[in-house]
Amino acid sequence: MKARSTWMLLMVCVAAAAAVYFLEIRGGARRSEQAERDGRLISSDAHRIRRLTILRPAEASGSATETLTVERDGESWRILSPVVSPGDNTALESLVSAIHRAKTERAMEGIEDWAAYGLEPPGLTVFVVPDEGLTDTLLIGDVNPTGAFIYVRRPGQDRAVLTDASLRSSLVRPLYELRDRSVLSFEKEEVRRVEIRRPAGLLVIEKEEGGWEIRKPVDAPAAPAPVDELLNRIRWAEIKSFVDDFPVSRSGHGLNPPGIRLTVTAGPDSVRKSLRFGTRRNGRVYAADAARPSVFLVDTGLVNALLKRADDFRETKIAPFDEWRVKRVEIRSASSATVAFRKDSAGVWVFDPPAPEQPEGERVEVLLTALASLEAETFIARNPDRLSRYGLEPAGREVILEGEDGEPVARIGFGKARNSRTLFLINRSTRWVAAAHNDILKHLTPSRNAWTAENDSAHHPAPSGPSGAGGKTNKKP
């Protein structure tokens, strides 16, 4: 009997808790949501708003009003009037959100003189078109005496309501702030080719599997950092002002023909996007693209980046590689003397073939650092006819670097002196001949005895900047 009473009491408690949840908690939440919806000025949810049209005071002094129309296009917004232009998605989502959030703070009944509240005629008229359902129309009047609210009316209604004055600020936001101000839109990771036509000549940089390559005016590897900097400069450049949205001719701005033409090819479909740059004005430059009818101004900093020399984008390292990839090092000389090292299973450098003595492992690492950071002071030529004139056929010294299972990492030949401080060398993979500082020679002794710990005091090289061991390394962290 006692157990039955306890069970019935438990059931009563569960029923009471369910009633509290559905009637008070969940029901209260629903009532709160309904009250919030009932208090809004429009019925549509923000994500269902497809189009906005706002009749508002014109920014230009020659016209009393302008019609701003924006429309959702998938995940983006597009401005349809007073100009046709891509919209700034962040700014337009903020505008839509401001309209959606606007609530009735207080209602005013029995109004006879609508003009006294700026509602006859209204200062602004807003048409909100949803994906489905009826269009909401709002007539926006003056700011009330406190400055905190504005008067709003629906057509045909005999009452006005007060809502937060911030709504009006959103509705009159300058057109410039609502437009997409990107000079050129693209995904940087998808860029395959950059082409810049300028007075100094054509510069073409292409992305290959192994990295960036300069194709014109010279065929040479490009350094990743300056190319990345250029793409960032282009991608995040912002239009400073729109000059003319309906130009009859662009010749007046130096755009036909342009002084500079930039073309970026990106994406799997190799979409080409182009910009033309014209004359300069007060520290800025006229520009235009084929996708927009507008002429606009950009900072000269962007143009200056496009005028850089091909050498500014060039990879100056003789044979860039990651030191951690190297598992075998071989140094050859024209006199047939050779020394080689390999990493054993424990990651320790040993002679190859094996020998009773061990090489001084730190010196091998110093050599790799010096080779990885070795930079050209001057590029001579690619695949020249007579390598012997540079002392490179045969080379006085040859360094061969291999990875796992004999995978080629780099091969560099070192020739004769160019002058008292530089020597000629060649990257056997790219076939480029260059001149570099001759400090590198002190790391290239082919004598096995010189690499043992017993001879370390006599032969250990000291770091010496970019061409020695003191430059920036690319060791795996």
**Nearest Cα to 173, choosing from 307, 85, 54?**
54
Mark whether 113 and 224 lie in a shared domain.
Answer: no
Q: What is the pLDDT of residues 110-135, one digit of tens each?
A: 888 999 999 999 999 999 999 988 89
**Domain assignment of residue 163, given as a range:** 46-178
Considering the chain, what is the average pLDDT of its residues?
87
439 lies in the same domain as 355: yes
Residue 441 class from Cβ within 10 Å (0-12 exposed, 13-18 middle, 19+ buried)?
A: middle
Tell whether 333 and 274 lie within a shared domain: no
Q: Is residue 31 part of a domain?
A: no
Q: Is 242 left (phi over 0), alpha (psi -120 to 50) or beta?
A: beta
Show which of 276, 291, 313 is a domain's final residue.
Answer: 313
Residue 15 domain-assigned (yes or no): no
Among candidate residues 294, 313, 332, the one where a domain is terminated: 313
Answer yes or no: do 150 and 96 share one domain. yes
pLDDT given at position 423? 96
Are 99 and 167 contacting, i.e. CB atoms less than 8 angstroms apart? yes
Q: Which two tokens stand for residue 212?
A: 């960036």
Question: Cβ(433)–Cβ(381) under 8 Å?
Answer: yes
Question: What does DSSP assign to residue 20?
Answer: I
What residues contact 319, with CB distance under 8 A and at least 6 apart?
A: 371, 374, 410, 411, 412, 427, 429
Angstrom distances, CA of residue 289 to CA of 239, 275, 352, 425: 12, 5, 61, 45
| pTM of the predicted protein model | 0.73
Q: Which of 281, 313, 345 is the last residue of a domain?
A: 313
The number of helices, as runs of H, and strands, as runs of E, in the chain is 9, 26
Give the pLDDT of residue 94: 96
411 beta partners: 400
Count, residues in the chain = 477
| Residue 21 within a domain | no
User: How much is the pLDDT for 16?
Assistant: 55
295 and 234 within one domain: yes
Please report the pLDDT score of residue 285 as a whole number: 95
pLDDT at residue 399, rounded to an integer: 97
Q: Is residue 4 part of a domain?
A: no
- 270-292 confidence digits (pLDDT tens): 999 999 999 998 889 999 987 88
Residues 297 and 303 sit within 8 Å (Cβ to Cβ): no
Identify the DSSP state of 135: P
Same domain, 269 and 353: no
In this prediction, residue 210 carries a pLDDT of 76
- Is 332 a member of any domain? yes
**C-beta atoms surrounding 105 within 10 Å:** 14
Q: Do both 118 and 206 map to the same domain?
A: no
Q: How many domains does the chain have?
A: 3
Task: Tokens for 3, please give them.
Answer: 């157990």
Q: How far is CA 245 from the centre of its chain?
A: 27
**pLDDT recorded at residue 466:** 36
273 plus 233 within the same structural domain: yes
With vertex at residue 344, the alpha carbon angle to CA 339 and CA 345, rounded to the nearest 5 degrees, is: 170
User: pLDDT value at position 250?
Assistant: 65
CA dihedral 429, 430, 433, 439 (to 10 degrees): -60
Please name the helix (run of DSSP H) or strand (run of DSSP E) that holds residue 9, with its range, or none.
helix 2-19
Q: Which residues in the chain come in under a pLDDT of 70?
A: 1-38, 60-63, 248-251, 454-477
Bridge partners of 4, per DSSP, are none
What's the confidence (pLDDT) of residue 248? 66
Do 243 and 337 lie in a common domain?
Answer: no
Question: Could you tell me what percent of the chain has a pLDDT over 70?
Answer: 85
User: Residue 17 falls within a domain, yes or no?
Assistant: no
Looking at the structure, do residues 84 and 210 belong to the same domain, yes or no? no
Query: Does any domain span residue 466?
Result: no
Cβ pair 151, 141 in contact under 8 A: yes
Spatial distance between the Cα atoms of 46 and 357, rounded to a whole number of angstroms:
77
Q: Are 91 and 178 in contact (CB under 8 A)?
A: yes
**Distance from C-alpha of 414 to C-alpha of 129, rounded to nearest angstrom:** 73
Looking at the structure, do residues 365 and 410 belong to the same domain, yes or no? Answer: yes
* 19 found inside a domain: no
Say whether both 285 and 356 belong to one domain. Answer: no
